[in-house]
Amino acid sequence: MNGATLVRKNLFRKKLRAILLLFSILIAFLIFAVLGAFNKTLNAGVETAAADRLVTVNKINFTVSMPYAYWGRVASVEGVKNVSQANWFGGYYQEPRNFVQTFAVDPETYMRAYPELEFTQGSAEAFFNNRQCLAVGADLALQYEWNVGERVPLNSNIWQQQDGTSDWDFDICAIFDAEDDNVPANYALFHYEYFNESLAFNRDQVGWLIINTEDPSMNDAVSQRIDAMFANSPAETETTTEAAFSKAFIEQLGNIGLIITLVTGAAFATILMIVGTTMVMAINERTREIAVMKTIGFPAPRIFRMVLSESLLLSLIGGLLGIGLAASLIWLMSQSPAVSGSLPGLSVGWRVTFIGIGFMIALGLITGLIPAWNAMRANIAEAFGKV
Amino acid sequence: MTEPLYQLTDLSKRYTRGKESITIFEKLTMTIPAGDFIAIMGPSGSGKTTLLNLLGGIDAPSSGEVVFEGKRIDNMSQGALAKWRAANVGFIFQFYNLMPTLTAAQNVELPLLLTKLGGKERKQRVRTALDIVGIADRAGHRPTQLSGGQQQRVAIARAIVADPEVLLCDEPTGDLDRATADEVLATLQLLNKELGKAIVMVTHDPSAAKYAQRELHLDKGRFVEKELVT
Ligand SMILES: Nc1ncnc2c1ncn2[C@@H]1O[C@H](COP(=O)(O)OP(=O)(O)OP(=O)(O)O)[C@@H](O)[C@H]1O
Ligand SMILES: [Mg+2]
């Protein structure tokens, strides 16, 4: 027997109580880790954004397009190494619920803008030379089991062709993936020219520009130059870093960070109160035993540590079980092609786990502090008086 | 002359409740030699438990000195007292006060967690202590699986396992029937005679007091001594 035996036996002396406490802690950390996993995955674009990439959008809103000529004009701005342009196609495959994130791009400059993309099937040349080519991200290809050589029609819920239809035919001629597994490859690319020529309205517009600067240190100057160039024109621009752009894009879905903070905050506040009061009561019930230990000669600081260890152990067991359960659930979800297609790389991850462990330690310390203090200060003679 | 185990000098204990002040005892002086076995008797509320608490350093006197083997303990810090208790004093209570989650052997081992002894030696000591009180066959049982007399034996084993100088017992047989009480008292007597442990035992039971070497009657803050068998 040692100090740890005492802590363990005391913690589990009332099995039902311990299990209920563990369960409530488990739930809180389950919520935390599941939301954390989604948040991480949604923000992967923000974190993996290249430092030298800028995005120029219409100042009104990034869903509003800009004149085609802007592309060429930005290319001549000092400090710009490469400019590409992209357009939101908003496609779906067969049925509207089969959403396929598709962009009409200028292939050559686009691949130059994103050097981290590499072709795993087909080739860059195939993409560049075939006007009807659909270059498919590896995660997306996996989701719909698409292979090079297949013909797929995609519908747009935004655009219309001149003949009144809104389905475009594509040849899958290349599949690409990102070097980094955390970067989602869950979208498809096709030729801007094919797109633009068939449009019934809004021709000769570009959705946004992607700029690589000569050096990240020039980012600010380049953004200012671009925005100054279009100031006081009918379509003013706003140029930001890719990270800021990704963030704004995600926030279209709602302020996910705030939702996560509120939900996990509420869960933690609840368990803090439940575990806190239960610990105080549990230790109060043991006042007499603690007095006996002191009588035997256990020093007050050791009693303090013992009680604190109990609440820490409780919090760590419950929390780790919660994160473990979250990791299993998230893993199961990520096995579904629908999820891996739209949220590739979905997992709890180390960052969330470590933050979680930090919370567990904090929870254990906060809930243990008052009972540990009470136990440490309890007067032996008085404790024995209370039979 | 050898040093006494305890020397109490002008010991007073008062409790103040608001403006009211009650004196439990006033200028009490007494000597307890090493190896003594004293039974302390007296009416309820006369301060017997209070006196044991002062001897055990779990309560401090209002004035006066408690000297143990030449060292004052009444002005020691809480931390120093805890250390001192672990090394010198064993406590035995009326209601045993065993840890309900621990087995008999683990209860006895508890004070050894405060020593530097290794696991093997601790086990050996626990075994010996349980043997002395005659309860080694119940080592693996929890307190709820033991009778009152058996629990008190475990409590005695716990009190002696760290080899203290003195055992302080507050009505150790108060909750036991006659026959069981006699067994427990015989064990205490054995510890006193064979192992030389000094024992200060508070009791209401005159026949329990007979096991001691001497009886002290505490009444209205004063002692009346009665020498018993030698
Ligand atoms: N914390 C306290 N505050 C005030 N009075 C106290 C306190 N503790 C004990 N007393 C009083 O001191 C007196 C002596 O108490 P003590 O417990 O020592 O008596 P006792 O002789 O052990 O009695 P019993 O035989 O009933 O156990 C009692 O009158 C009690 O009310
Ligand atoms: Mg008493």
Interface predicted TM-score of the whole assembly (ipTM), two decimals: 0.93
Average pLDDT over residues A269-282: 93
Work out the burial of residue B210: count CB atoms within 10 Å of its CB; fewer than 13 is exposed, 13-18 middle, 19 or more buried: middle
- Cα dihedral value A93, A95, A96, A97, nearest 10: -90
Q: Which atom of ligand 1 is nearest to the CA of B53?
A: 18
Mean residue pLDDT of chain B comes to 92
Band (A52; pLDDT cuts 50, 70, 90) = confident
Lowest mean pLDDT among A68-77, A257-266, B30-39: A257-266
Maximal CA-CA distance, chain B: 56
**Helices B178-195 and B148-160, axial angle in degrees (round to 10):** 20
CA A287 to chain centre: 47
User: In this predicted structure, what is the pLDDT of residue A384?
Assistant: 82
Beta-carbon separation of B110 and A293 below 8 A: yes
Q: What is the spatial order of strands in the sheet that B71-72 belongs to?
A: B20-32, B6-17, B63-68, B71-72
Q: For chain B, percent helix, then strand, then coil, each to nearest 5?
A: 35, 30, 35
Q: First CA to last CA across chain B, in angstroms?
A: 20
What's the token pair of residue A294? 């002191």
pLDDT digits (tens, 9 = 90+) for B172-205: 999 899 999 999 999 999 999 999 999 999 999 9
Q: For residue A384, which residues of chain B lie inside 8 Å, CB to CB?
A: 49, 93
Q: Whose CA is nearest to atom 24 of ligand 1?
A: B44
Q: From residue A59, give the alpha-carbon distance in Å to each of A137, A166, A219, A226.
A: 29, 28, 18, 12
CA proximity to A272, closest of A168, A362, A349: A362
Beta-carbon separation of A381 and B106 below 8 A: no
Q: Is the CB of B53 within 6 Å of ligand 1?
A: no
In angstroms, the CA A148 to CA A122 distance is: 7
Q: What is the DSSP letter of B46?
A: S
Indicate whether A341 pLDDT > 70: no
Residue B58: which of A1, A2, A380 has the nearest Cβ? Answer: A380
* Domains of chain B (ranges, CATH numbers): 34-61+75-227 (3.40.50.300)
pTM for the predicted model, two decimal places = 0.77
Lowest mean pLDDT among A154-163, A265-274, B123-132: A154-163
Q: Is the CB of B49 within 6 Å of ligand 1?
A: yes
Lowest mean pLDDT among A108-112, A132-136, A282-286, B219-223: B219-223
What's the token pair of residue A113? 């803008």
pLDDT: which is higher, B59 or A340 = B59
The structure tokens 């919520």 sit at A31
From the CA of B21, which ligand is nearest? Answer: 1
**Helices A3-11 and A300-334, axial angle in degrees (round to 10):** 60
In angstroms, the CA A167 to CA B185 distance is: 100
Q: Whose CA is nearest to atom 31 of ligand 1?
A: B45
Q: Whose CA is nearest to atom 16 of ligand 1?
A: B47
Q: For residue A305, which residues of chain B lie inside 8 Å, CB to CB?
A: none
pLDDT digits (tens, 9 = 90+) for A97-122: 888 889 999 999 999 999 989 999 98
Average pLDDT over residues B123-128: 96
User: In this predicted structure, what is the pLDDT of residue B220?
Assistant: 78
E strands, B69-181, in order: 71-72, 89-92, 166-170
Indicate whether B130 pLDDT > 70: yes
Average pLDDT over residues A341-360: 88
Residue A381: which of B59, B95, B111 has the nearest Cβ? Answer: B59
User: In this predicted structure, what is the pLDDT of residue B102?
Assistant: 95
Number of A:B CB contacts under 8 A?
66
- Considering only CB atoms, which residues of chain A are within 8 Å of chain B? 1-3, 5-6, 9-10, 13, 288-289, 292-301, 380-381, 384, 387
pLDDT digits (tens, 9 = 90+) for B71-112: 999 999 999 999 999 999 999 999 999 999 999 999 999 999
Q: For residue B85, which residues of chain A lie inside 8 Å, CB to CB?
A: 295-297
Alpha helices in B90-147 (DSSP H): 104-109, 119-132
Mutate which of B19, B26, B44, B49 to test ligand 1's pocket (most atoms within 8 Å of Cβ)? B49
Band (B230; pLDDT cuts 50, 70, 90) = very low
Q: Tell me phi and psi for residue B127, to 5 degrees.
A: -60, -45
Ligand 1 center to residue A12 CA distance, Å? 35
User: In this predicted structure, what is the pLDDT of residue B224?
Assistant: 76
Indicate whether B229 pLDDT > 60: no
User: In this predicted structure, what is the pLDDT of residue B226?
Assistant: 66
User: In this predicted structure, what is the pLDDT of residue B3?
Assistant: 86
User: In this predicted structure, what is the pLDDT of residue B19?
Assistant: 86
In angstroms, the CA A360 to CA A368 distance is: 12
Q: For residue B158, which residues of chain A lie inside 8 Å, CB to CB?
A: 296
Ligand 2 center to residue B189 CA distance, Å? 21
What's the token pair of residue B111? 């004070």
In one letter, which amino acid is A207?
G
In angstroms, the CA A19 to CA B151 distance is: 30
In one letter, which amino acid is A1?
M
pLDDT digits (tens, 9 = 90+) for A129-174: 999 999 999 989 988 999 999 999 999 988 888 888 888 999 999 9
Average pLDDT over residues B158-179: 94
Among A2, A17, A380, the strongest candidate for a mutation testing the B interface, having the largest count of B CBs within 10 A, is A380
Alpha helices in B8-103 (DSSP H): 48-55, 78-88
| Count of other CB atoms within 10 angstroms of residue B113 | 20
